[in-house]
Chains A and B, each alone.
Chain A
Amino acid sequence: MKKIVLLSTLASVALFAVAPKVISPEKRSSTLSQFVPDISAIVDFSYVNQSLDNNELESLHIPDSAEPATNANNGFNLNYLEMVLSSNVDPYFSMDAVLHFSTEEVEVEEAYFTSTALEHGLRLRGGKLLSEFGRINQQHEHFWDFAQAPLVSEAFFGAEGLNEIGAQLQWVAPTKLYLMVGAEALQGTNDVLFGNAQITDPNSPDILANEEKAPSLFVGYIKSSFDIGHTSVLPGISLAQGSTRLDRFEESANAFSGNSSVFGAELTAKHFFNSYRFLAWQSEWMTQNIDGTEYDASTGTTQRNSLEKERAGFYTQLVYAHDQNWRFGVRYDNLYQNDITLNGITQTTFDPSITNPVSTSENFDRYSVMSEYHFSEFSRIRLEYDHNSALYSESGEKQNLDTISLQFNLSIGAHAAHDF
């Protein structure tokens, strides 16, 4: 045995006498130090012109959604400044941090570690992260093709999406076909859907709903992808399930506790004509079930009602990149199902107490058209028109909103390349 090792070592020394001359790091000198993480900053700035003034906009909302569907002001908006830091930590982990600055505050949008040394196709991530539920949820705003998040994700998860503290485990199957399975255990403190805090009765010392032990939100998904010629197809399904605690006693004298689940199906097909020209069709469909008890404190004593909601919606978009400069896109958003069952009785309106109760059988939709010009990989300007007919005033009047926006997006520094 020793002999063989010795012989082969000798042989290799002899044969590799002219070993490749590896250039010393000094000669390869790059001005970048390896120990400084990749740092990038992205600024998004827009000029917006809407058919309604800022005052009127403030009171508009999608019925039964806590969040307004749009947050841009008429005139100039500094939408955000995003700072991204990323680097390897050691041979076992990498770390990413995304800081989201608005003109008033800074938010840690993401801060997580990712394992780099696990075997068997496993990857563990922990910290604050964007859930990989569906397709658009994990993408940062600057990577979106339209200015606003799809109506369905805004209505179901709020303007920030599923952005939670928790742990994520993903597994890529050892198959020729791309197949990824992921599971996430998340704290579950989404503003509009998931929550676990205790709810107390404003009219008595009673506890209406006990605290649910966190983590109280669980997400799972299966995603796959295959190519047909130069067309890549990405199907996927996702499920989010967790406890819901919505304490709105102070704002609107009601609260809700129960369980919610959201099921999503996604399909993206992207065809490449050459290195720069592509046509991409991307759609997501989601259905939401909320089941529990509603607490109504508007009359002085708290009433309990059993409440179940079934909602469904989708978006579908088509984007054509003509070359490295020009891109065009259309998107259609629709929330088409809003079934409400209160104490076993199917409701026909969202809130019968307002002047013009909005029917639950209404379609809430939006059309968007955009064209983008990319000066380079690092700067682009987007002209977008939206026609939003999903908005209602507090007294229940439908208000169509037309928006034209000119959005400027610039990035500096070392920003990691995006996924497909």
Chain B
Amino acid sequence: MKTFLMLLLLPLSLFAHLDIAVSYPYIGAITKVIGKNHVSTTVLAEGNWDPHFIVPRPSLIAKLRNADALIMNGGQLEIGWLPPLIKRANNPKTVPNTATFLDLSRSISFLQKPKSLDRAQGDVHPDGNPHFHLNPNNILILAQDIATFLSAIDGKHQAIYAENLKVFEQDWRTHLVRWQKNMASKKGMKVIQYHDNMAYFNDAYGLENIGTIEPLPGIPPSSRHTLELIKTINTQKPCCIFHDVYHSTKTAQYISEKTGIPIILMPHDIGALESIDSLVALFDYLTTVQAK
């Protein structure tokens, strides 16, 4: 029995000393780049699933139970799946508003903050649109936030985290220039989306979202709304439909056939498409896919 328990516990002790649980893959990637070999990251959600509807599988409770800290996106993006996991993990280190808990949304200025909260307008996020990591400029703020957080909970390696952040920032800034160049000609381009999850990307590069396939946030497509959207497309001539990888493209295909505008799959996180294996790959893809 004892050896059996030892075997079960062994893989935990093999890891680095800080086990950081993070909600989404992109957070894991930033944390890893700042923490390097001083942290190990446990990513709870899979990148190709709807970030609003991650399944709170009990196996994730075991992952949270053993974590030293938790970093989440916030802005209520995890509201449907992370709270029940936190409540069951019985780990005081992953409880919100403690020193070992980080809510990234706190350092971000939100877009689309609703003026009134009413579910007649769909499943609105009270704080505004929470898909802020898709503006690559925000990644710098998030990286700084994570570096400060890691330094606070692991003061011994403060200087290392600060150094890693500096290297990451320099590297990221050169990418930002490249992505800006990729997108320069796209300014003012109109797009349709399924759900407005590219709002921050569009904001960063001056694209304009003129409609969504879902009639209201969280409400599945209806035929009446689809017909109205086709009318809007015909008068306003958007370039394309930005579609997430997790919703069915059935309605989008119908719209595409009726209007002739193409569907462009827009991955929202690392792992959303097989080729997206890093943050740089994610934005390389997002900033070049419209040109194809």
Chain A contacts to B: CB under 8 angstroms = 8, 11-12, 15-16, 18-23, 27-32, 91, 114, 116-119, 121-123, 170-180, 223, 225-227, 232, 234, 270, 272, 274-276, 278, 323-325, 376-378, 412, 416-420
Do B84 and A178 have beta carbons less than 8 Å apart? no
Do B59 and A20 have beta carbons less than 8 Å apart? no
Do B92 and A117 have beta carbons less than 8 Å apart? yes
Give the CA-CA distance A322 to B166 in the complex, in Å. 48
Binds A, one of B154-162, B186-194, B200-208, B232-240: B154-162
Q: How large is the interface on B (under 10, 10 to 19, 20 to 34, 35 or more residues)?
A: 35 or more
Is the contact region of chain A dominated by helix, strand, or loop, or is it mixed? Answer: loop
Chain A residues contacting B168 (CB-CB under 8 Å) are none
Residue interface mask B94-125, A partner, CB < 8 A = 1: 01001000000111111001000101001100
Give the CA-CA distance A171 to B105 in the complex, in Å. 31
Do B148 and A19 have beta carbons less than 8 Å apart? yes
Q: Is B53 part of the binding interface, using a Cβ–Cβ cutoff of 8 Å?
A: yes
Chain B contacts to A: CB under 8 angstroms = 5, 8-9, 11-12, 49-50, 53-59, 61-62, 65-66, 79-81, 83-84, 87-92, 95, 98, 105-110, 113, 117, 119, 122-123, 126-127, 141-142, 144-145, 147-148, 151, 155, 158-159, 162-163, 165-166, 218-220, 246, 248
Give the CA-CA distance A396 to B87 in the complex, in Å. 48
Give the CA-CA distance A71 to B88 in the complex, in Å. 34
Do A378 and B119 have beta carbons less than 8 Å apart? yes
A sample of 6 cross-chain residue pairs with beta-carbon separation below 8 angstroms, ordered by A number, consists of: A12-B151, A16-B151, A119-B92, A121-B65, A178-B61, A180-B61
Do B119 and A276 have beta carbons less than 8 Å apart? no
Do B12 and A275 have beta carbons less than 8 Å apart? no
Of all chain A residues, which has the CB nearest B53?
Answer: A275
Interchain residue pairs A-B with the least CB separation, the first 9: A225-B58, A275-B50, A15-B162, A20-B144, A178-B62, A123-B90, A20-B145, A175-B8, A275-B53
Give the CA-CA distance A172 to B81 in the complex, in Å. 19
User: Given that A16-B148, A23-B109 are contacting pairs, would A232 and B57 also be in contact in the complex, using a CB cutoff of 8 Å?
Assistant: yes
Chain A residues contacting B54 (CB-CB under 8 Å) are 275
Find B87's partner among A15, A114, A176, A376 (CB 8 Å cutoff): A114
Do B218 and A417 have beta carbons less than 8 Å apart? no
User: Given that A172-B90, A178-B59, A232-B59 are contacting pairs, would A21 and B123 also be in contact in the complex, using a CB cutoff of 8 Å?
Assistant: no
Do B90 and A118 have beta carbons less than 8 Å apart? yes
Chain B residues contacting A234 (CB-CB under 8 Å) are 58
Chain A residues contacting B5 (CB-CB under 8 Å) are 175
Of all chain A residues, which has the CB nearest B156?
Answer: A8
Find A175's partner among B9, B105, B107 (CB 8 Å cutoff): B9
Give the CA-CA distance A180 to B85 in the complex, in Å. 13
Additional pairs, 11, CB under 8 Å, beyond known A274-B49, A275-B246, A419-B88: A16-B144, A20-B145, A23-B109, A32-B117, A121-B90, A123-B90, A179-B62, A225-B58, A232-B57, A278-B55, A376-B119
User: Given that A176-B12, A232-B58, A412-B119 are contacting pairs, would A8 and B155 also be in contact in the complex, using a CB cutoff of 8 Å?
Assistant: yes
Do B8 and A176 have beta carbons less than 8 Å apart? yes
